[in-house]
Structure 1
Amino acid sequence: MSQRKMRLGAFIMATGHHVAAWRHPGSQADSGTNIDHYIEVAQTAERGLFDQVFVADSPGLQYKGDDEALRRQGRVSYFEPVTLWAALAAVTKHIGFVATASTTYEDPYLLARKFASLDHISKGRAAWNVVTTSADNVHGNFGLEAHPDPAVRYERAHEFVDVVKGLWDSYDDDAFLRDQASGVYFDPQKLHALNHVGKHFRVKGPLNIGRPPQGHPVIVQAGSSEDGKELAAATAEAIFAAWTSLGEAQAFYRDVKGRMAKYGRRPEQLLVLPGISPVIGRTEDEAKAKWAELQGLIHPAVGLNTLASFWPIAELRRFELDAPPPWYPEPPKGINSRAHVVIELARREKFTVRQLYEYLAGARGHWVVVGTPQTIADRMQEWFENGAADGFNVMPPVLPQSLNEFVELVVPELQRRGLFRTAYEGRTLRENLGLERPASRYTASAQELAA
């Protein structure tokens, strides 16, 4: 039996994940809207044999009301991801593309069509990161009076995903004959109208594009709340996670995979990919110096603003930077799952306000590892071999510099240990991730009736 291999994705955040990355000489300061930058990053990830590249996205500016912080942060102008990935598909051959799209603020028919198109354009390399949108400052962009509460958002998301998958099955795989001699283009008996009527959507269908090369683009999810874990167990094929300790990661891994059986799914049908933000040096001292250099670029207003999801801005302004923040007995109601993780981390480590924002500045509460390629590979191997991860979502602190370092230094170390591929195994993202190609719901129904 061949050795289980680690899956790697590159989580791309414009200039990098560190909040001050745009100020670093190893970054591309205008990267948010610089297509040449993204071409370089995607091709570097492909050179490193990564499975996929991923960008997070929100349908609105993340602004918490602090003008001083806003004028100093480099994440206010960036590409819409599906458009970006369509362009990058033309200059790559193997790397997959994960694009975020919201089930709260998008339409299922239009989304299904976009991602089916991306899968055709990329020849089977598309993935959809399903989000319900946690930010409460975007509803006004869509004519809504308020952001829907979490229970409603997740209820809608389950129905939304089912509708999209049904639309992707509008045509059977062999529906298109394109027989020029006979003049028959396709078989209408292999075209299916969805005719969905549910609580949140009425969608007739069919989709006006053939079934995607992967059957369905890969479904990705990133929530760690109870609702998020249920959505992942029911629908996702990869889940991005944010944990900072082996024990937490192992508990999450067992939990989310343990929920799958009730949805008729097997644990291997879901890949758990925690985030890791590696700060790489050829020596430990060099790695620590790099980290200190980045931390030194954080303006206090920007640092405090990283805490705005957990404490009100007016309250933050009264905090003393070198004193502890007020420890909540329990996380406030209504905050998202990432906030729960961060508040628990702050309480456990007894961070001061400055220490907390410096920690979050690296990767917003994800796992930051500072060290040599061997140290970073050791930590990744420990999680991978001990029931905490099927692979990792690599979050370079500075782009393009940090991704180049990971590909040149860490990937060869993982390969030497037999943990990571030395060549792509397949043509599609599904094949490279080791995921099954889903049968059409209509083909499966017909086979069941025939049996």
Structure 2
Amino acid sequence: MTTRQMHLGAVPYGTGGPGSHTLWLDPEIPGDASVNIDWFVEMAQLAERGRFDLVFIVDSQFITPFSPPHYLNRLEPLTLLSALATRTERIGLVGTATTSFNSPFNLVRRLGSLDLISGGRAGWNVVTTGDAGTAGNYGLDEHYDYDTRYGRAQEFVELARALWDSYEDDAFVRDRASGQFLDPSKQHVLDHQGTYFSVKGPLNLVRSPQGHPVVFQAGDSDQGRDLGASVGEGIFTFAPDIPAGQAFYDDIKTRARDRFGRNPDHVVIMPGIKVVVGDTDEDAREIEAVNNDRDHTFGAALREFGRPFGWHDFTAYDLDAPFPAEALVHGERSFYTQAKAVTQRAVDNGWTLRQAVEASRSFRKSEFVGSAATVADKLVEWWEARACDGFNIGLDHPSNFRRIVDEVVPILQERGVFRADYDSTHLRGHLGLPVPENRHTAARRAH
């Protein structure tokens, strides 16, 4: 085993997320997969059999009739992951939770509870929420602007870490002879008064074996990259090729080191990828083409096209008229970076709306398609080129994911780039991250 190790995450999309509206037609996927705990248990245990670092549950809290099937009806991540914690042993359990529409004390307590229930396997994907319509579900007339969203997120994470340190690790004496349960000198009130939040504390929960849940982040705007570089321990991203992956990798690691004084090796970058395994390279490409056409029809693509634009309804437009660039205004408090890129591309190419939608579902061949050996070669190539530290693999068709676990993973293990077995009981250990020392214990020791 080399010192540096590849990391793998599994991302189940149940009945089908963006770009896979008709995934649920696969007879292997229950029609209620997105709320079926037995299906999630089966997939998590399969990923654990493959010695994956983590399973990652995505989330959002605003839907329209155009939303993908998985978004229309799915389990809340931390509830789901707490159930998975009792049916798995080693795999990390990572869930999305927004800093825009959660109370810090409540969310921090729930994440800390998951961390204890799982024995230190919890992770938190910090999002600021791009779906602007979510604001209406929380009594707000409009979504926060970018600066407010990222300001809240920065303070929220710092506050969370302080709350998780409310108790020093030896605070609970539990001495029956003396009758002492708690050493009160090792319980710490926070008294946080910040720009966005006010929390007295302490949190009524001890730390887990890994200290704090691992913090992940997935923003790609400049503010998002700064947030990831300053507080992220894992970074979820997307890269179309090795040069783009290397550029992002270098940018985040450099920001972490130069702007925030962090060890760049403690920032694990894992782009999301689509993997298709076949008996031969040609067979895998045929499977990829069939799945692309079956899982993402034009009608579904048109309905979901408005998501980065605040779920603006593009079905009301003339498909063959010039792309309506004025619609960009609807994305200003949503996924604006993505909406701006889509608009710019359409304008630069002189596309109609139909052409822009077709481009969104165009068959872009994944690099990670082929025989098991070909896929393993490509994973290692990216990893060795430092375009990433590992990968988040979309779990779409279960039969394909079984082939990844049973055929690709053994090759990676034989090459010494991926673990043959778990050597840690907690997520930080899987990812090569240190357990943070309790800040009050560190101050006491320094004094």
- Scaled by the length of structure 1, the TM-score of the pair is 0.89
Q: Which residue number corresponds to residue 229 of structure 1?
A: 225
Cα contact 2:7–2:52 (8 A) shared by 1: yes
In the TM superposition, what are the counterparts of 1:39-118 in structure 2 within 5 Å? 39-61=41-63, 63=64, 67=65, 69=66, 73-118=69-114
State how many pairs are aligned.
435
Q: Which residue number corresponds to residue 361 of structure 2?
A: 358
2: CA distance between counterparts of 1:27 and 1:225? 35
Q: Which residue number corresponds to residue 287 of structure 1?
A: 284
- Is 1:147 the counterpart of 2:143? The answer is yes
Cα contact 1:279–1:397 (8 A) shared by 2: no
Q: Which residue number corresponds to residue 8 of structure 1?
A: 8
In structure 2, give the amino acid aligned to 1:443: T
1: CA distance between counterparts of 2:239 and 2:168? 41
Q: Which residue number corresponds to residue 172 of structure 2?
A: 176
2: CA distance between counterparts of 1:119 and 1:208? 14
In structure 2, give the amino acid aligned to 1:370: V
9-18 vs 215-224, which moves further: 9-18
In the TM superposition, what are the counterparts of 1:130-141 in structure 2 within 5 Å? 130-141=126-137
Q: 1:432 to 1:19 in 2, by over 3 A?
A: same
Post-superposition Cα deviations, 1:213-249, rounded to whole Å, max 9, x if no partner, equal 2111100101111111111111110000011121111
Shift of 1:344: 7.5
- Is 1:378 the counterpart of 2:381? The answer is no
287-296 vs 348-357, which moves further: 348-357
Shift of 1:437: 0.3
- Is 1:217 the counterpart of 2:220? The answer is no
- Scaled by the length of structure 2, the TM-score of the pair is 0.90
- Is 1:202 the counterpart of 2:198? The answer is yes
Q: 1:317 to 1:374 in 2, by over 3 A?
A: farther
Cα contact 2:99–2:156 (8 A) shared by 1: yes
Q: Which residue number corresponds to residue 26 of structure 1?
A: 28
- Is 1:396 the counterpart of 2:395? The answer is yes
Identity of aligned residues (%): 40
172-181 vs 116-125, which moves further: 172-181
Post-superposition Cα deviations, 1:48-85, rounded to whole Å, max 9, x if no partner, equal 00010001111222x2xxx5x45x84531000011111
2: CA distance between counterparts of 1:282 and 1:164? 47
SS for the counterpart of 2:133 is coil
In structure 2, give the amino acid aligned to 1:240: F
Question: What is the Cα-based RMSD across aligned positions, in Å?
Answer: 2.7
- Is 1:264 the counterpart of 2:261? The answer is yes
2: CA distance between counterparts of 1:428 and 1:268? 18
2: CA distance between counterparts of 1:285 and 1:345? 32
Q: Which residue number corresponds to residue 313 of structure 2?
A: 313
Shift of 1:337: 3.6
Q: Which residue number corresponds to residue 414 of structure 1?
A: 412
Q: 1:243 to 1:324 in 2, by over 3 A?
A: farther
Cα contact 2:368–2:379 (8 A) shared by 1: no
Q: 1:390 to 1:268 in 2, by over 3 A?
A: same
Shift of 1:350: 10
Post-superposition Cα deviations, 1:141-162, rounded to whole Å, max 9, x if no partner, equal 1100100011100001111111
Q: Which residue number corresponds to residue 432 of structure 2?
A: 434
7-16 vs 269-278, which moves further: 7-16
Q: Which residue number corresponds to residue 166 of structure 1?
A: 162
Q: 1:119 to 1:341 in 2, by over 3 A?
A: farther
Post-superposition Cα deviations, 1:313-341, rounded to whole Å, max 9, x if no partner, equal 33774224xx996799x997554344456
2: CA distance between counterparts of 1:288 and 1:253? 28
Q: 1:310 to 1:221 in 2, by over 3 A?
A: closer
Q: Which residue number corresponds to residue 445 of structure 1?
A: 443
Shift of 1:96: 0.6
Post-superposition Cα deviations, 1:119-145, rounded to whole Å, max 9, x if no partner, equal 110001001110100111111111001
SS for the counterpart of 1:137 is helix
Shift of 1:446: 2.2
161-170 vs 438-447, which moves further: 438-447
Cα contact 1:24–1:294 (8 A) shared by 2: no
**Which stretches in structure 2 are left out of the alignment for 5+ residues?**
none
Q: Which protein, 1 or 2, shows the higher relative CO under an 8 Å CA cutoff with sep ≥ 6?
A: 1
SS for the counterpart of 2:287 is helix
**Which stretches in structure 1 are left out of the alignment for 5+ residues?**
none
- Is 1:296 the counterpart of 2:293? The answer is yes
